[in-house]
Structure 1
Amino acid sequence: MAAMIGHQDATSAFLEAWQGGRLHHAWLLAGPQGMGKGAFAARVARFLVTHGRAGGGQAVALDDVGDGAAARLVDAGNHPEILSLTRQPKDKSKDLARNITIDQVRQMIRRLHLSLSLGDWRVIIVDAVDDLENDGANALLKTLEEPPAQTLFLLVSHSPGRLLPTIRSRCRTLRFQPVATDVMTTWLHELRPMLEMPEVRAIAAASGGVPGKAIALIDSDVAVMEKKLRAIAAGGDPGNRLREALAREVSGVANRTRLELVIDIVPGLLAELARERPVAEIGPILAQWDRVQRTVRDAVRGSYDGAMVGFEIGNCLAELAPRTR
């Protein structure tokens, strides 16, 4: 598993509270999606059920193994005192439901009335708490107001400002901030040493300091996507072959990261064209950049049709090809 990045402050805050015997019953893990908040919650859960109560002021790390038998249950996904609430697949399809339902919350609450069957702690992970139905959020709030003993709630939130203020007020907040570009670059280079440094730097810049997005960009093959965009800008793509391929590759929810990658690459590509071409040609380049921005803005307001956005971005670049101007 890749080493975590951007969790140092959150890790220190949690371990300090645990070692001092002042472990708050509910923690709100807040920050951009892709910061690894869910992974951090899983690490905390594993730590608690394998270490139990603090004692003796011993120095520990969050990933210390602790009790081996309990650790093996966690690794197998079978530890009885770690409960996770996430969106579930709809019917027999692979698509996830829009929300975490009230029935899921009620089932979790019923479990809270049972005695601990193993160890000193029970951990509830809600990932993401933003996905709760209104009734589910209210039911969770009542539990947070009167929490069972030796139960820890870890609430992952990508948009904490949208939560019920009363839920936020019952939690201690850990904020996961975007990682500095130089730190991200070093981390990515260590993680994927086979990548060329210019590509690593481009991915680090495009990620916005979000590690999960950086990994997704690598998996989307940034070099291949950039090569395709450059080819459209250079040759105009007669016959639409490249544009149609681009539209397919960024269509649908599963390819949303690829679409974001294309959107991130285009500004740098247009800036490069502006530097390379005569001053008189800068105007058309800026006009196409305005067109790209309008396309993305309109898509966000509407259904966010990835194929349409990708094809239209290709159109903008094709307009700048030397033989089509």
Structure 2
Amino acid sequence: MIGHGEAEKAFLEAWQGGRLHHAWLLAGPQGMGKGAFAARVARFLATHGRAGAGQAITLDDPGDAAAGKLVEAGNHPEIIPLARQPKDKDKAKGKDKDLARNIAIDQVRGVIRRLHLSLSLGDWRVIIVDAVDDLETDGANALLKTLEEPPAQTLFLLVSHSPGRLLPTIRSRCRILRFQPVEHDAMTSWLHDLRPMIDVAERRAIVAASGGVPGKALALIDSDVGAMEAKLLAIATSGDPGNRLREALAREVGGTSNRARLELVIDIVPGLLARLARERPIAEIAPVLAQWDRVQRTVRDAIRGSYDGSMVGFEIGNCLAELAPRERQAAR
């Protein structure tokens, strides 16, 4: 795991001091491993129970072996997950990829009913809501009532990718652990240790496109980020006279079958623009920032509208072409 150090320290200090708050909001970008952190906390409490004075320990300490085996098998009775469920039509087919849009109120009610039962094993019951952003309005209100009057020895771990959109009253009942994007050098070192066979240029491109989010970096490993970055950079440096490069980009990212390629371009462009801004004299930074804003508007409009991938790709290419040296723009 990477990026969990401060959160782990804060949780363990609270546990060791006997000041374990009943609800923790794990907030940060999607892909930071917040769900994995919640699972580590749940396993820790299932295998350690109440704190002992002065214990210096990590969340990955094995603790009670028997309880640990139940957790690993997904059978520990006091760890209760709450997440979106497969749609009914997919359950019949044995599929689990197509999930419902929200966590339904009936799911929340089912968890609340379990909270009225006595603990059957260990000292803690842990509820993991992943993600709390997915709750229906009625479900969020039902959860809020439980957070206001929590059962004893019950811990809530609420994973949120957009904490600002939650009910303020839910946020106010929680202690917040923020998971910030990992800084560049740490990400580079982590990725090198994880996948040492990736060449330096590709690793640099992945780190830049990931925005400091480890999960995104992992998803980008097999996406040939370096090659796509080179195509985008060629547009920005040449100005693409005749539109040949932009037309090729539009074809590559157009259509529903190429959605992943378009998302790759959208991931790469912010880091590429930041790199161009750093490399240019101060007087030439303003045009880069203007194209940054233009790219962001293009992506927002595409998401709200019909999402024509080829159009979005061509317009992003136009933004990059505007950054070519003046003499090359004149040649266009």
- The 5-angstrom pairing of residues 287-302 of structure 1 reads 292-302=295-305
Q: 1:139 to 1:248 in 2, by over 3 A?
A: same
Partner of 1:247: 254
Residue in structure 1 matched with residue 266 of structure 2 by the alignment: 260
Distance between the aligned counterparts of 1:86 and 1:308, measured in 2?
36
SS at match of 1:92: helix
CA drift of 1:238 comes to: 8.2
CA contact 1:247–1:306 (8 Å) conserved in 2: yes
In structure 1, what is the Cα distance between the partners aligned to 2:72 and 2:308? 39
- Which of residues 30, 35, 44 in structure 2 aligns to 1:33? 30
Question: In the alignment, which residue of structure 2 is the partner of 1:49?
Answer: 46
Structure 1 146/266 Cα, relative in aligned 2: closer, same or farther at 3 Å?
Answer: same
Using a 3 Å threshold, how does the CA distance of structure 1 residues 163 and 286 change in structure 2: closer, same or farther? closer
Deviation at 1:189, TM superposition (A): 1.7
User: Matched residues in 1 for 2:318 and 2:257: separation?
Assistant: 15
State the one-letter code of the partner of 1:247: G
Q: Aligned pairs, how many? A: 315
Alpha-carbon distance in structure 1 between the residues aligned to 2:140 and 2:102: 11
What TM-score do you get using the length of structure 2 for normalisation?
Answer: 0.80
2:170 is the counterpart of 1:167: yes
Report the 3-state secondary structure (helix = DSSP H, G, I; strand = E; otherwise coil) of the residue aligned with 2:254.
helix
In the other structure, the counterpart of 2:18 is: 21
Matching residue of 1:11: 8
Q: Cα RMSD between the aligned structures?
A: 3.5
2:81 is aligned to 84
- The 1:287/1:63 distance shift into structure 2, 3 A limit, reads closer
CA distance in 1, matches of 2:203, 2:181: 17
Closer, same or farther: CA 33–286 of 1 in aligned 2, 3 Å: closer
For structure 2, the 5+ residue unaligned runs are: 91-96, 282-286
Cα offset, 1:213, TM superposition: 2.0
Q: Mapping of 1:56-205 within 5 angstroms?
A: 56-93=53-90, 94-205=97-208
Report the CA distance shift for 1:273/1:294 in structure 2 as closer, same or farther (over 3 A): farther
Task: Indicate the larger mover: 222-231 or 65-74.
Answer: 222-231
* Residues 1:70 and 1:248: Cα distance change in structure 2 (over 3 Å): farther
CA distance in 2, matches of 1:287, 1:241: 24
Query: Does the 8 Å CA contact 1:129/1:157 hold for their aligned counterparts?
Result: yes
**Rounded Cα–Cα distance in structure 2 between residues aligned with 1:58 and 1:290:** 50
| Percent identity between the two aligned chains | 74
Deviation at residue 303 of structure 1 after TM alignment? 5.2
How far apart are the structure 1 equivalents of 2:158 and 2:16? 21
Find the aligned partners of 1:250 and 1:128 in 2 and give their Cα distance. 28
More displaced stretch, 154-163 vs 230-239: 230-239
**In structure 1, C-alpha distance between the alignment counterparts of 2:256 and 2:190, rounded to whole Å:** 27
Alpha-carbon separation, structure 2, partners of 1:31 and 1:49: 25
The answer to whether the 8 Å contact 2:246/2:314 transfers is no
Consecutive unaligned residues in structure 1, runs of 5 or more: 276-283
- State whether residues 104 and 135 of structure 2, in contact with CA within 8 Å, keep that contact through their aligned partners in structure 1: yes
Sort the Cα spacing of 1:308 and 1:121 in 2 relative to 1 into closer, same or farther, 3 A.
Answer: farther
Looking at structure 1, the residues matched to 253 and 7 of structure 2 have their Cα atoms a distance apart, in angstroms, of 39
Does the CA contact (< 8 Å) of 1:243 and 1:315 recur in 2?
no
Task: State the distance in 1 between where 2:248 and 2:204 align.
Answer: 30
Q: Which amino acid is the alignment partner of residue 66 of structure 1? A: G
Q: What does residue 280 of structure 1 align with?
A: none
Q: Secondary structure at the match of 1:45?
A: helix
**Residues 274 and 35 of structure 1, relative CA distance in 2, 3 Å threshold:** same
Contact 1:232/1:242, CA 8 A, preserved across alignment: no
Instruction: Map 1:272-311; keep pairs closer than 5 Å.
Output: 292-302=295-305, 304-306=307-309, 308-311=311-314
Larger deviation, residues 230-239 vs 38-47: 230-239
Deviations 1:17-60 (A, max 9, x none): 11111111111111222221111111101111111111243221
**Does the C-alpha gap of structure 1 residues 99 and 306 become closer, same or farther in structure 2, counting only changes over 3 Å?**
farther
Match of 1:201, SS state, is helix
2:93 corresponding residue in structure 1:
none
Aligned partners of 2:205 and 2:229 also within 8 Å: no
> 2:303 and 2:108 mapped to 1: Cα distance?
31
**How big is the shift at 1:104?**
0.8
